[in-house]
Structure 1
Amino acid sequence: MSSFARLTSELLGREYELGRWDCFALVLHWLELRGVQVPEQFEGVGRDDYAELFRRAPEEAKALMGRFFDTILEPCDPRHVQPGDILLVRPLFSEAPAFTVVYAGNGQALSAVEGIGTNKFTLTRYEPVRGWQCPRQYHTL
C-alpha cells in the first residue's frame, strides 16, 4: 500500500462532528499528517471556536477558512490539482454549501460530510471553486 493510500485509509470511516471532525478539521489533520505546521489560531479564531463561528455565520467562517489556506498553502488552479492538494468544491445540482476536500487523484476526493462521515467519492457532481497546493515535498512520502 502506498503512503498516500495508507494515510487516506487512516482517515476513512470517522463520524462527522462539526468542530471536531468536519471537512475543515479533516483537512487540518491531513496537513499535519503530511508535516505541515498548522497554527492553533488564525485571525483570533481557534480551532475550537470555528464550529461556533460556522453555526452563527457560515459564510464568514468559510471566508476565514479560505484566507487561512491562502496563508499556509499556495493557491492553485482548482482544475490542475495533484493528489494531496486541497479543494473547495460545490455540488453542481444542489444549493448545498461548498466544502473542502483532499484531492486523491483520478477524480476522487476525501472529505468529512454531515450524515456520512469521512469517505472517498468521485468529484463528477462537484464544481471545484478554489484550490491549494500541499507543499510538494509532502506529496511523496
Structure 2
Amino acid sequence: MALVPSAPASSGLPSLEQAYESCRLETAQWAKTFYLGTLLMPPAKRRAIWAIYVWCRRTDELMDSPEAQARPVSELAARLDAWEERTRELFAGRVRDGLDLVLRDTLARYPQPIQPYLDMIEGMRMDLHK
C-alpha cells in the first residue's frame, strides 16, 4: 500500500507504480549486481532502495556524465544549487516528477533526515575544485 497517494492522471505525473517501475529499470540497467542484491529484500524496502539509488545516480550525473564534463564549472555549480533547492523542496513535500513521487513515498515509509542527501550534493561540489 502506498503512503503517498498516486498522482491524478491530469497532473502529468506518472502513477506511483509507474514511477517505482522506472526506478527499478534504471537500477537494473546501471547497477546490475546491486539490483540483484535488492531482490533479496522485502518488496517495500527494495522499492525504497531503488528510489534512493536513482536520486543518488542523478545527483552524480549532474557532475560526472559525459555531457556534464563538457560544461563550465559555473554551470555545474548552478546545477548543483538548483538540485539542492529541489531536494529541499522535496523534503518539504513538493513533487515535480516521478522520482519525487517515489522519494516522497519512501520518506513517508522510512523517515530519514535530509542531511545525507545534502552531504552528497556537497560532495559533488567538492568535485568542482579538483
TM-score, structure 2 as length reference: 0.28
Higher helix share: 2
Tell me which structure has the larger Cα radius of gyration: 2
Higher strand share: 1
